[in-house]
Structure 1
């Protein structure tokens, strides 16, 4: 998955959004928890304050008397973090053992009767404490006495609880983030599935299995499908018109070429053999080009509609041998038809004749004595071999590298191989050129999917070798 991937962008954006949401949610949850602990702490101080108030009194002489203390044992543990303190307006002060030898410095505050105030202040040992205080009026010795009661607790409890909660919460948020990231990946995959279907549809169009994209797509993608289908229709119409014009042009050149060949024959009869030979050579090259364009127009029109025909190979090879045997090159060689009985290949008969005819004609032109047509290995693969001089490895490599541009080699054979390559490309087949085990060249055609398979060596076991003289030639 590269950095331009739409899936990667959507997943990355989703993960960033998840991380931001989890970070905000985590911070908010810690803050809410801290406030909850603070409220719980304040409620506990209220309880301690009521217990302290229930145990305080003033004797007839006006002295503070503590009849009972709060029950929490931390009040008796020095610097435990939980403290109480009672003082009056006459300077009397009572305090818990936890304060040891110190006293809490309460802020100046006017307390109404029965009111409870809470403050954060510095406590003993540098602790930061939360103080709950209350003022109560007593009567001692006939005089009113105002008593100030205070209970405090170290705020470190809140900090420790918040830290522990944050650690536990972070683990839960990490697990939740992983689950949400995985869910985002699945969601993006499900959301992009229509695009996968469109890609397959385009591949089917290119392979000729269908002509339009399927219309059963989500509404968000449907306008794109309609535009692509309309574009395909427009391009097919334009291509059809262009190929029709090319075919018309090629057919229009047939008559002038025939007239040119007739003129060359008359010149030959008059003794102008060199000029006639030059004109015939040019006419033959032009005819080859015309034949190639006609074959390309015909083959691609069939390939667009999907090649569904199949042809029985052996009868076609016999027909081609019969035709080529009447040509000068075909008359001097021997043709051997070793194609397996009943072999069919997914080609239109005319197109297969174009392929095998060009390969057999080329082999007859370069053969010494024999041309052999065989089933090459397993599957619907064919090979045409000759016992001529063949081609060396460097030439084969150079030819194969050019692929569909074999016509750049020049000459009639080059154009014949170019026509073969055009037809094979339209049907999804490939042409392989190599040195035959009989000394000449071997031209094999097979489906492209078969190129990854290891060639079978059993095909040549029953083949009768060429004579020694033929191989040496």
Structure 2
């Protein structure tokens, strides 16, 4: 995908949105888990504090005794992270074995008899601990006020939050990858109608259909309707343009015919040079008119007729029979080596325009023989003659519009230009080289099978003639 691709933009935008959403969700989940851990820790401390207060007793000598210490074994393990201590207003002090020789320095506070206060202070080993404390009156007669506290190391909670965040990040990364792939698939499915339109336009350009398919999603339907309407309007305009060009070309036919008749009368009057000049001009204009008529017919032909196909052998037989009645064609022999199964994907009239020009040129320059070879695999048509041929350095000149090597011979040089126009309209190419007969070798073939015009020997150079 290129940077200018709509698919890349949509997939990138979707992926960025997914990453942002998952990032915010992940941060929110970590915060919620952290709060959950804090609430759980506070609830556990409250349970331990109640167990501690339940197990306190006052001896006969007025001293405080922890008759039933909290059941959690971590209170008996030195520096385990879970601690308790008890003190009274008479200087007595008791603590769990886990505190070892450390004292929890509690802030100055006076919690009520039923109030549990929580503080975050520095505990053993300079670790941060959460303390839950409560003040109770143990003996109403002696008025002994006891302050009991239970503490837990916060490092355990922090480690739990970190582990949760790590596991969550892995899960969110996998989820982001899955969602990104799903976004890519979704975008592909969403853009599929555009691919259908692209294929439809390519088929219209190739002449396989006249309109875009209307079975498209609702969002694309207005675009399809507008394009189809534009195609209809373009076709109507092309028909009008072809009609105007044809009318204009036909309008020149009558004056040119009259001009040719005048040239004939001038010859009869003995003004041969002037008559030949007029004939040359008239012929050049006639060829130009013929070319415009051919182009007018070509524009839109493929779209109007779909995918025409012409059988080559009967058409060649008709063209050869016609050329045999002309002065140039009557003096040469035509060798047709074309099988019946060779079919050309062109309109019959357009193919006749191409082959007629090629055969006429070959007959005019041949000494005695013109050979036509055609093959179906690979598809190609070759016209050869035994004339003088065309030097390779001058092939480009011949392919130019109006280009001629023999300025003395009749003609305007537009024959090959018309051939090239027709071939280009059907996606074919023209190639000129040297024939084994000694003259020119002209080959026409589909563009993907025919190399660039003007090159060396190409398709069919080593193939045997088809009998």
TM-score of the pair, normalised by structure 1: 0.91
Match of 2:262 in 1: 263
1:456 Cα offset (Å): 5.1
The correspondence of residues 369-384 of structure 1 with structure 2, limited to 5 A, is: 369-376=368-375, 378=377, 380-384=379-383
Match of 1:137 in 2: 137
Match of 1:102 in 2: 102
SS state of the match for residue 401, structure 2?
helix
Relative to structure 1, the CA distance from residue 109 to residue 63 in structure 2 (aligned partners, 3 Å threshold; closer, same or farther) is same
What is the rounded CA distance, in whole Å, between the counterparts of 1:218 and 1:176 in structure 2? 30
Q: Is the 8 A contact 1:325 1:331 kept in 2?
A: yes
Match of 2:66 in 1: 66
Match of 1:91 in 2: 91
The correspondence of residues 28-39 of structure 1 with structure 2, limited to 5 A, is: 28-39=28-39
Q: Is the 8 A contact 1:431 1:445 kept in 2?
A: yes
**1:151-170, CA deviations, whole angstroms, 9 ceiling, x for partnerless residues?**
00010011101111111111
Tell me whether 196-205 or 369-378 shows the greater mean CA deviation: 369-378
What is the rounded CA distance, in whole Å, between the counterparts of 1:342 and 1:65 in structure 2? 116
Aligned pair 1:15/2:15, yes or no? yes
Q: Is the 8 A contact 1:368 1:388 kept in 2?
A: yes
SS state of the match for residue 316, structure 1?
helix
Match of 2:392 in 1: 393
Gaps of 5+ in 2: 452-457
**1:203-240, CA deviations, whole angstroms, 9 ceiling, x for partnerless residues?**
11111111111111111111111111111111211222
Q: Is the 8 A contact 2:284 2:412 kept in 1?
A: no
SS state of the match for residue 103, structure 1?
coil
Q: Is the 8 A contact 2:45 2:150 kept in 1?
A: yes
What is the rounded CA distance, in whole Å, between the counterparts of 1:239 and 1:461 in structure 2? 42
What is the rounded CA distance, in whole Å, between the counterparts of 1:256 and 1:456 in structure 2? 45
Q: Is the 8 A contact 1:377 1:459 kept in 2?
A: no
Match of 1:460 among 423, 443, 464: 464
Match of 1:444 in 2: 443
Relative to structure 1, the CA distance from residue 58 to residue 3 in structure 2 (aligned partners, 3 Å threshold; closer, same or farther) is same
Tell me whether 240-249 or 271-280 shows the greater mean CA deviation: 271-280
The root-mean-square deviation of aligned C-alpha atoms, in Å, is 2.2
Match of 2:403 in 1: 409
SS state of the match for residue 277, structure 1?
helix
Match of 1:160 in 2: 159
The correspondence of residues 274-423 of structure 1 with structure 2, limited to 5 A, is: 274-376=273-375, 378=377, 380-396=379-395, 398=396, 406-407=400-401, 409=403, 412=411, 414-423=413-422
**Higher percent of residues as helix:** 1
Q: Is the 8 A contact 1:87 1:148 kept in 2?
A: yes
Q: Is the 8 A contact 1:307 1:348 kept in 2?
A: no
Aligned pair 1:174/2:173, yes or no? yes
Count of matched residue positions in the alignment of Structure 1 and Structure 2 = 456
Gaps of 5+ in 1: 464-473
Match of 2:51 in 1: 51
Tell me whether 315-324 or 154-163 shows the greater mean CA deviation: 315-324
